[in-house]
Amino acid sequence: MKTLTEFIIQRQSEFPYASGDFTRLLNDIGIAAKIVNREINKAGLGNILGSAGDMNVQGEEQKKLDVFANEHFKAALRNGGQCAAIASEEEEGLIIFDNEISRKAKYVVAMDPLDGSSNIEVNVSIGTIFSIYRRISQDGPACMEDLMQPGNRQVAAGYIIYGSSTMLVYTTGTGVNGFTLDPSVGLFLLSHPQMRIPEGGNIYSINEANYIYFPEGVKEYIKYCQQDDPPTRRPYTTRYIGSLVADFHRNLIRGGIYIYPGTLKQPSGKLRLLYECNPIAFLAEQAGGKASDGFRRILDIKPYELHQRSPLFTGTQSMVETAEGMMQADAGHDEQF
Ligand code: P6P
C-alpha cells in the first residue's frame, strides 16, 4: 500500500507549486498527528485527561489534550519551516512565525487542533481539522490578510480522525483520499482512494435538543426526514456523535447530511468558518457533495475575522439541496429568528 509521502510526491507534478514545500508541509502535519494520536490512545493512563483549568478564546473549557494538540501542531508547523502563520481555535490571535525561514514560507494554516474534545473522557472519536492557503503577502512576516481568504482559495484541507483507527483524509482539489495509520510502522497508508459521498444517503445528523431554537426551515426539514416514505428511504436514520469530524466522516462514507444551523441563541451557529466549515466544505465538494450555510456556498463566504462562526449544512448533495429549499422557502415568509 502506498504511503502518504509516496502518494504526495507521486502527485506532486499535478501541483502548480511542485517545489516539494507542500509535501514537507503535509508531512509536518502527519508527524504532529502521530504524536497527538499516541497521547489520545493512552489518555486514560496518564495525567492528560480533564480540564486544563483555562478557557479558550471561545469561552469554552480547554481540555489538557486541546492544549497538548495545539502545542504539537504549532511546533511541527513552526519547525517544519513551510508555514508562515497559523490561526488556531485555541489561540485568540494570529500566530505569526517570525523567523528567517518561516518569513519566506509560502503557506498559512487554519486549524482546529482537537475538535470534539468534550468527547475525550468518554472515548468517542475526535479529530484535528486543517485548512491550507498560499499566503497573499509577499516576503516578510505573514499577516491577517493571508487568513482572510474565502474557502475557495484553499490549496488543501483535511482532517485526522482519532477513532477505532486513526485516519488522515485530505484534498488538494483533485478528489479526496484517505490514509489509515499503521501504528506498527508509524506510517499513514492509502486505504481509501478517491472517496465519494454516496448519493441517496439516509442519515441526518443534528442536535435536536436545540429544536425549539431552530429556524422554521430546519424544523421543516427534520419533519421531512421523519416522514414515512419508503421510496425515498424515509424515515431516515438519525446519528449524532457530537464530534464534527466523526459525524462528517461517517456521512462521507455512508452518505447523509450534517447540520449545525443558526439558532435563536446563536444566529451564526456554533462552528467556525476558517477551521471547521471551510475545510469540511472543500472535502464535501471534492467528494461530490455540497456545503452551504443554508443559503450561500460556504467556500464563497469572505471571512472578516479569525473566529467568525457560520451555520453549516453539508453532505449528500440532494439532501443538502432539500434542506436549503426549505430554508429559502421560509426565509421570505417570516423572520428566521
Ligand atoms: P453541540 C465540538 O465542540 C463541535 O465544535 C463539533 O465538533 C460538534 O459537531 C459540535 O461542536 C457539537 O455541538 O452543541 O451539539 O454539543
Which pLDDT does position 18 carry in this prediction? 62
For the cut 50, the answer to whether the pLDDT of residue 47 exceeds it is: yes
SS3 state of residue 260: strand
Q: Which residue matches cell numbers 443534528? A: 206
* Ligand 1 mutation pick, 243, 280, 309, max ligand atoms within 8 A of CB: 243
Helix (H) or strand (E) holding 110: strand 107-115
Q: Nearest C-alpha to atom 9 of ligand 1 is from which residue?
A: 244
Cα gap 23→99, rounded to integer Å: 21
Reported pTM? 0.94
Placement of cell 468517542 in the chain = 124
Q: What is the mean pLDDT of the chain?
A: 92
pLDDT at 336: 46
Whether 207 is in the pocket of ligand 1, judged by its Cβ within 6 Å, is: yes
Beta bridge partner(s), residue 187: 182
Q: Is 117 in the pocket of ligand 1 (CB under 6 A)?
A: no
Which atom of ligand 1 approaches the CA of 245 most closely?
7
Domains of the chain: 4-192 (3.30.540.10), 203-331 (3.40.190.80)
Cross-strand partners of 159: 129, 169
**pLDDT surpasses 60 at 248:** yes
What is the bridge-based pairing of β-strands 83-88 and 107-115?
parallel
Distance 6 CA to ligand 1 centre (A): 34
pLDDT digits (tens, 9 = 90+) for 161-209: 999 999 999 999 999 999 999 999 999 999 999 999 999 899 999 999 9
